[in-house]
Structure 1
Amino acid sequence: MSVLIKLRDFANLPEAEQEVKNFILKYPKRVLEMTTAEIAQETYTSSATVVRLCKRIGVGGFNKLKLLIAKENEVFDNMNLEILDTTTINKNDTEHEIIDKITNIDLKSIEETRVLVDIHQLHEVVELIRKAYILDFFGVGSSHVVALDATYKFMRVGKNIANYALYDRQYVQAVNADADHLGIIFSYSGETKEMVEIAKILRQKGIKVVAVTCSIGSSLSKASDYNLTVSSKETIFRSGAMSSRISSLYIVDLLYALYCRADYERAAEMINKTRIGG
C-alpha cells in the first residue's frame, strides 16, 4: 500500500500531527532532505510529533518513512499521479473541458486505487466470500449504489445475498445475521454513524466484517476485520463522492473477478444461465 496515500487518507489525526501530515504531502520531495527537527520547525510542532505520526500510520520511524516516500515519488512520477491533485468543475467550463476532467479523474482514481490494493488482504476477503453462505451488503446514499452493483454481480454466480436500501432493514439484517454470513460495508467517509453501528453489531456476533472505504483510521476501519481502501481524490466542487464511487466499483470488480477465477467453469456456466437479453 502507498504510504503517501495512506497518510493522505488517514482520518481523525490530532491537530499537530495533521500539520505534519499536510507538510509532508505538500513537499514529499523536500522532506527527503530534512530531519524531524526541521519538519517540526516548519510546522510549529515537535520532533516527537513527527515520530508519533510515523508510528500511527504503521511506519517504524522517520527514516523508514523517507525511504518509502523516495520509492513512491518515482512511481507517482512514472504514473503521472499527483497526491494532492483535485479536479473541480467550474461554471465556465466547456463541454469538452468537463469531458476531459471527468475522464481524467475516473482514470486517476482507478490507478490510485490500484496502488492501494493489498493483494494479501484481497485474497483473504475472496476466500471469506467463497466460504460464506450469505453475503450481507450494507451502504447508504451513493454507497448503496455500489452495494447494489455487488449484489447483482454475486447473485449471477449463485451467491445468496441480503441487501436493503433503508437503514431500519439493514439494522434488522445485521441483528439477524449469524456465523454463516459475511458483512461487506461500503462507506466513502468511514464515519457514517449507521454503518459503524452495523459493523459493531456484526463483530459482536462473531461475524467477519469487510469495510470498503477511503478513510484509513476512520471509525468504520477500526470496527472492521478487513479494510479495502479506495481512492479519495476530490472532484466536482471539491467533493470526493464521484471518484470514490468509481474506485469502489473497481474494488467490487476485483472481488468478483477473483471469486469467479477460483471456480472458473462453474462461474462461467452460472453467468451464461443468468444472462438476460443480447
Structure 2
Amino acid sequence: MDDETTRPGEGPPVETLVATVRGVLPSLTPAAQTVARLILDDPGMVARSTITELSAASGTSEATIVRTARVLGFAGYPQLRLALAAASAARPAERLVPGDLAPDDPLSEVIVKVSRAESEAIEDTVAQLTAERLGVVVETIAGARRVDVYGVGASGLVATDMAQKLLRIGMTSNAFTDAHLALTSSVLLRAGDVAVGISTSGETPDVLGPLRNARDAGAATVAITNNPRSSIAQVADHVLISAGRETAFRPGALASRISQLLVVDCVFVGVAQRTFDSSQRALQATRTAIGDFLRSGRTKP
C-alpha cells in the first residue's frame, strides 16, 4: 500500500476525524470499537473526559483507550482529546453526529437527515482526497493497457459506472460484479494492467480475492474504500478513501455510493485530461454512434 493516510502521532485532519473513526470501526477489536462508538455518538463528551472518566464510561481499560488513539494515528489519548475538541469547536454538533433514521421519523425529518448524510459524505470525501494520491492513480490508469474493476452490491454499480466511463474515452475497461468472473479476470492480468477494487468496508471477499490475484499476477492495484486499515487497503498499491456510512435503514446507502462515485468521477476526469486528444476523439465517436442510432430509430415507422 502507498503512504499512510495519517501522519504519525498527529492523527487524521480535524475535518475528517469522525469520518475516519467511522471508516476504521469494522477493523477494530471489540473493546476498541466500544471506544470508537463513543467518539461517534458524542465526540464532545470524549473531548471533555479524562482517560479515567472515559474508561469508566466505556467499560474498557485505559490501555485500550490509548491503543485506540494510536490506531487512529495519534501519539496517545491527550492528542485525540485535543483533536476532538478542535473538531467540536469547528463544527456544530449536528454536523459531527448526523443522526440515524428512526422508524417514527416524519418524512420532513427523513428528507433532512438523508440529504445531510449525502452532502456530508461528499464533504468528507473531498477532505480526504488529496491531489497527490489522486494524481498517482490517474497516471497509473492513464498508462494502462487494460483496467478491470471489481465490486459487488452497491459497489458493483459504482464499478460498472467507472468501467463505462473509461470505455467512453477509448480505454479497455471491464466491470466484474460476479465473483467467479472477477477471479477469472484477475489471474489473466499482467504488468501494465490495472485492477480497481471497490468496497465500502474493505473486507468484501468477492473483491478482495480478485484484487489479491491481480497483484500477484503483476498488475497495479487500486482500492476505493472507507477503511484505510482494511484488508483491501493492505493489498492495494494505491488507496483512495471514500466517506459514507450505511445504516439499518439505508444499507448500500446513497451516501456510500455517492462518495465512491465522486472518487470515480475525479479519477475519470484526471485520466481524460492526461489523454486529452485520444479521449476527445473517442468521446466524439461514441456520441456520434449513439446519436446516429437514436436518429435512425426515430425515423422508422
TM-score, length of structure 1 as denominator length = 0.86
**2:143 matched residue in structure 1:** 131
Name which of structure 1's ranges 254-263 and 140-149 shifts more when overlaid on structure 2.
Answer: 254-263
* In structure 1, distance between residues paired with 2:109 and 2:58: 37
The percent of aligned pairs where both chains have the same amino acid is 28
Counterpart of 2:43 in structure 1: which amino acid? P
Counterpart of 2:151 in structure 1: which amino acid? G
1:199 paired to 2:211: yes
Residues 154 and 125 from structure 1, CA distance in 2 versus in 1: closer, same or farther, beyond 3 angstroms? same
Residues 199 and 266 from structure 1, CA distance in 2 versus in 1: closer, same or farther, beyond 3 angstroms? closer
1:244 paired to 2:256: yes
* In structure 1, distance between residues paired with 2:143 and 2:82: 39
**2:21 matched residue in structure 1:** 7
Residue-by-residue CA offset, 1:237-275 (whole Å, 9 max, x unaligned)? 143433211211111111112222334454344323322
1:43-82 pair list within 5 angstroms: 43-77=58-92, 81-82=95-96
Aligned to 1:41, which of 45, 53, 56?
A: 56
Residue-by-residue CA offset, 1:71-97 (whole Å, 9 max, x unaligned)? 33344339x623453245x47855x66
* In structure 2, distance between residues paired with 1:28 and 1:181: 43
Residues 21 and 104 from structure 1, CA distance in 2 versus in 1: closer, same or farther, beyond 3 angstroms? closer
Name which of structure 1's ranges 8-17 and 147-156 shifts more when overlaid on structure 2.
Answer: 8-17
Residues 57 and 174 from structure 1, CA distance in 2 versus in 1: closer, same or farther, beyond 3 angstroms? same
* In structure 1, distance between residues paired with 2:157 and 2:51: 44
Q: Secondary structure at the match of 1:29?
A: helix
**1:85 matched residue in structure 2:** 99
Q: Secondary structure at the match of 1:67?
A: helix
Counterpart of 1:179 in structure 2: which amino acid? A
Q: Secondary structure at the match of 1:184?
A: strand
* In structure 2, distance between residues paired with 1:104 and 1:25: 16
How far is the alpha carbon of 1:170 from its aligned partner? Answer: 1.1
* In structure 2, distance between residues paired with 1:164 and 1:199: 11
Residues 250 and 14 from structure 1, CA distance in 2 versus in 1: closer, same or farther, beyond 3 angstroms? same
Counterpart of 2:219 in structure 1: which amino acid? I
How far is the alpha carbon of 1:177 from its aligned partner? Answer: 0.5
Residues 128 and 235 from structure 1, CA distance in 2 versus in 1: closer, same or farther, beyond 3 angstroms? same
TM-score, length of structure 2 as denominator length = 0.80
Residues 91 and 49 from structure 1, CA distance in 2 versus in 1: closer, same or farther, beyond 3 angstroms? closer
Residues 254 and 86 from structure 1, CA distance in 2 versus in 1: closer, same or farther, beyond 3 angstroms? farther
Name which of structure 1's ranges 2-11 and 101-110 shifts more when overlaid on structure 2.
Answer: 101-110
* In structure 1, distance between residues paired with 2:109 and 2:29: 38
* In structure 2, distance between residues paired with 1:160 and 1:202: 16
1:226 paired to 2:238: yes
* In structure 2, distance between residues paired with 1:267 and 1:75: 42
**2:9 matched residue in structure 1:** none
* In structure 2, distance between residues paired with 1:194 and 1:114: 27
| Gap runs ≥5 in structure 1 | none
Matched length: 275
Q: Which has the larger radius of gyration?
A: 2
| Gap runs ≥5 in structure 2 | 1-11, 295-301
* In structure 2, distance between residues paired with 1:240 and 1:161: 24
